[in-house]
Amino acid sequence: MLVKRLLKKLRRKTNKYVKQGTALLKKGRPCLVEGGSERNMNRYKPSREEAYNLLREYNSDESLIKHALAVEAVMLHFADILNVEDKEKWGIIGLVHDLDYEKYPDEHCKKVREILTERNWPEDYIRAIQSHGWKICTDVEPVETMEKVLYTIDELTGLINATALMRPSKSILDMEVKSIKKKWKQKSFAAGVNREIIQEGARLLGMELDKVMEETLKGMQKVAEEIGLKGNIE
Q: Which of 200, 171, 195, 196 is nearest to 183 (CA)?
A: 195
CB 91 within 8 A of CB 103: no
Average pLDDT over residues 93-112: 97
Which domain range does residue 6 map to?
Answer: 2-41
What gap in Å lies between CA 66 and CA 98, rounded to an integer? 11
* Percent with pLDDT over 90 in the chain: 80
Q: How many domains does the chain have?
A: 2
Do 139 and 202 belong to one domain?
Answer: yes
Do 141 and 28 belong to one domain?
Answer: no
Domain assignment present for residue 142? The answer is yes
Q: Residue 205: which pLDDT band, with cuts at 50, 70 and 90?
A: very high
Higher-pLDDT residue of 43, 112: 112
What stretch of H or E contains 20?
A: helix 2-26
Do 31 and 53 belong to one domain?
Answer: no
Write a three-state SS string for 122-141: CHHHHHHHHHCCECCCECCC
Do 110 and 153 belong to one domain?
Answer: yes
Q: Which of 212, 67, 90 is nearest to 145 (CA)?
A: 90
Do 9 and 80 belong to one domain?
Answer: no
CB 78 within 8 A of CB 101: no
What gap in Å lies between CA 61 and CA 57, rounded to an integer? 11
Q: Give the domain CATH number at 190.
A: 1.10.3210
Domain assignment present for residue 231? The answer is no
pLDDT tens-digit series, residues 186-204: 999 999 999 999 999 999 9
Higher-pLDDT residue of 176, 33: 176
What gap in Å lies between CA 234 and CA 230, rounded to an integer? 8
**Over 70: is that where the pLDDT of 54 sits?**
yes
Do 37 and 52 belong to one domain?
Answer: no
- pLDDT of res. 83: 97
Q: Residue 43: which pLDDT band, with cuts at 50, 70 and 90?
A: confident
Across all residues in the chain, what is the average pLDDT? 87
